[in-house]
Amino acid sequence: MSKPIADDSFFESLSKAAAPLEGEPAKTPSRLKAKVYSALLRRQTESGPLLSVSATEASGRSLCVFEKAVEVLPVGERIKGLNFCSVCHARVAAEKMENAPIYWPHCPYSEFQNR
């Protein structure tokens, strides 16, 4: 186990060196945003079914192109409540690369990209 550093000034100097330039807001890496979103969705699906894409759209949230395709299919609400992001290639690309080439409207992984 490593020995803890007693002097907080060391960490303060590190944080000052890593601070963004004046007037430039810090940006969270898009890969981190994607991974956190995926983890939250996984956790939410463990606690129960998600809201169906039909109900999601009815509540005012826009659907991505793949969710919209499922929404118009003649399938039950149970199927429409699955986590489609878990099998989407946009999720994989967003978690693996910064500024992934994802441009679909209303896709959360596309919206996470720092462009």
pLDDT in tens, the chain (115 residues): 455 555 677 777 777 776 666 766 667 899 999 999 999 999 999 988 889 999 999 999 999 999 999 989 999 888 999 999 999 999 999 999 998 898 989 999 999 987 6
| Inter-axis angle of helices 89-96 and 30-46, nearest 10 | 130
3-state secondary structure at position 74: coil
For residues 83 and 104, what is the distance between their CA atoms, to the nearest angstrom? 17
- The Cα 60–Cα 99 span in angstroms is 27
Bin 41: left if φ > 0, else alpha if -120 < ψ < 50, else beta.
alpha
pTM of the model: 0.72
Q: How far is CA 19 from CA 11, 13, 26, 88, 112, in A?
A: 12, 10, 8, 35, 22
